Amino acid sequence: MTNFIINRANYWLSEEHPNLYLSKKDDLTFRMQYLHFSRIISSRDFNADYKEWIKDLKEEDYVYYSFSEPEKSEIYKIKTGEYPFNRFKEKYIREQLMNFFLDKNFIIEPFPKGNDLSIYEKISDFNNEWSIYRRYDLLVRANRKEIAFNVGSENTLISNNPQEFQSTEKIRIIDTKDNFIKPLGGREDIDNCRIIANRLKREQLGIIHEPRKFNYKNLFNQLTNFYNNQLLSIDTINFKIEAGGLKNVDPIYLNKVNLNENLMLFGKEKTDINAVTGMRDYGIYRSSPKATEVKFIFVYENRGDANQLHIPINLTPFRQF
């Protein structure tokens, strides 16, 4: 019988929860608008110091927080047991992963699109000015006590030394303040940082993107090595990755999808688990503000089905060729 495995590993988490440290300055790992933060902890009783600390916060202000005690004086500590840890559990595990890989000299991207965490491992030198990194993407599934991980890129170029750039450039930088990868985002207070090579920079370096044939065996070996050599080394008093290898998939779960995790939202606020029937019955969820600037080609036998995608945004119906 075939043994199916998946690129996930279980973790163990202590029942002894950490303290929560708060700051009004952008100097801790995570942030949350005070409006939402106050709702999460509104049912908790705190001492007068906490009420004094929050008195000047507006709903739109951010509260910055971490689970590691910072070397700063302008913080407030919420002791373990005095806040709903389960609402912060996923962030705590992410911080544990960040701390581990920072100590292992990986470069960290704490808030990547589509993942909970991305880490970059140096593979080789491209030239004297640039190095080649492999990116691993991680997802924390706190409700299942598991970490999902995958290889995101084999050929990310990161500069070895600070580079000059304009604040208007669309690039990602390595912030000198915390050594995290962040989008530049037009910030005027950032200059001369190490950067991630974007498409323009790669073209200047003569790098042409060529599609690579997917190889399951190579990917399996890379993920297994990452698990054995890196993830299994995470073993602290409060958090560790369990031994046993990549997770086995129970045969009863094959060819099945958790419907609650597969719903898609379409027009008229209707949901469906099937993209085809959802688009056919309800149309698009929301029109694109750039829809008039882009031309689409839909391969449909039936012109009416194609127009169902197009007409809701008040554009000219398709012609059938």
What is the spatial distance between Cα 108 and Cα 185, in angstroms, rounded to a whole number?
A: 18
Average pLDDT over every residue of 59-77: 89
Termini Cα distance of the chain: 49
Q: Choose between 223 and 305: higher pLDDT.
A: 223
Domain assignment present for residue 2? The answer is no
Is residue 49 a part of any domain in this protein?
yes
Gap between the Cα atoms of 80 and 21, Å rounded: 10
Same-domain check for residues 112 and 212: yes
- Tokens representing 76 are 């407030």
Instruction: Answer for the pair 133, 174: CB distance below 8 angstroms, yes or no.
Output: no
Q: Are residues 275 and 227 in the same domain?
A: no
Q: Which two tokens stand for residue 147?
A: 């970490």
Verify that 140 and 267 share a domain, yes or no: no
- Among 207, 239, 271, which residue terminates a domain? 239
- Spatial CA neighbour of 279 closest among 289, 265, 292, 293: 265
164 lies in the same domain as 299:
no
Shared-domain flag, residues 223 and 264: no
Quickly state the pLDDT bin for 2 (edges 50, 70, 90): low
**Per-residue pLDDT averaged across 66-74, rounded?**
85
Interatomic CA distance for residues 318 and 297, integer angstroms: 9
d(CA 197, CA 180): 15
pLDDT tens-digit series, residues 145-200: 999 999 999 999 999 999 888 878 889 999 988 889 999 876 777 778 999 998 88
Q: Does the residue 309 lie in any domain?
A: yes
Do the domain assignments include residue 226?
Answer: yes
Q: Do residues 231 and 136 share a domain? A: yes
Residues 127 and 235 in one domain: yes
Same domain, 307 and 215: no
pLDDT at 279: 85
Instruction: Tell me: do 106 and 202 sit in the same domain.
Output: yes
Tell whether 151 and 223 lie within a shared domain: yes
Q: Is 84 a member of any domain?
A: no
| 3-state SS, one letter per residue, for 190-214 | CCCEEEECCHHHHHHCCCCCCCCCC
Closest CA to 121 of 149, 96, 142, 162: 149
Distances in whole angstroms, Cα of residue 190 to Cα of each of 149, 165, 173, 182, 200: 31, 10, 9, 11, 20
**What mean pLDDT do residues 78-99 have?**
94
For range 77-85, the mean pLDDT: 91
Same domain for 34 and 170, yes or no, is no
Specify if 66 maps to a domain: yes
Q: What pLDDT is attached to residue 309?
A: 61
Residue 212 lies in a domain: yes
User: What is the tens place of the pLDDT at every residue in 278-320?
Assistant: 888 888 888 777 767 777 676 767 777 666 665 544 444 444 4
Task: Determine, yes or no, domain membership for 56.
Answer: yes
* Strand (E) or helix (H) holding 281: helix 275-282
Number of Cβ atoms within 10 Å of the Cβ of 90: 15
How many independent structural domains does the chain possess?
A: 3
Domain that holds residue 283: 259-313
User: Is 57 found in the same domain as 100?
Assistant: no
Q: Positive or negative, the Cα torsion across 76, 79, 82, 83?
A: positive
Q: Helix, strand or coil for residue 81?
A: coil
Helical H segments across the chain, by residue range: 34-40, 48-54, 89-103, 199-204, 216-229, 275-282, 303-310
Instruction: Identify the weakest region by mean pLDDT among 242-246, 254-258, 307-311.
Output: 307-311
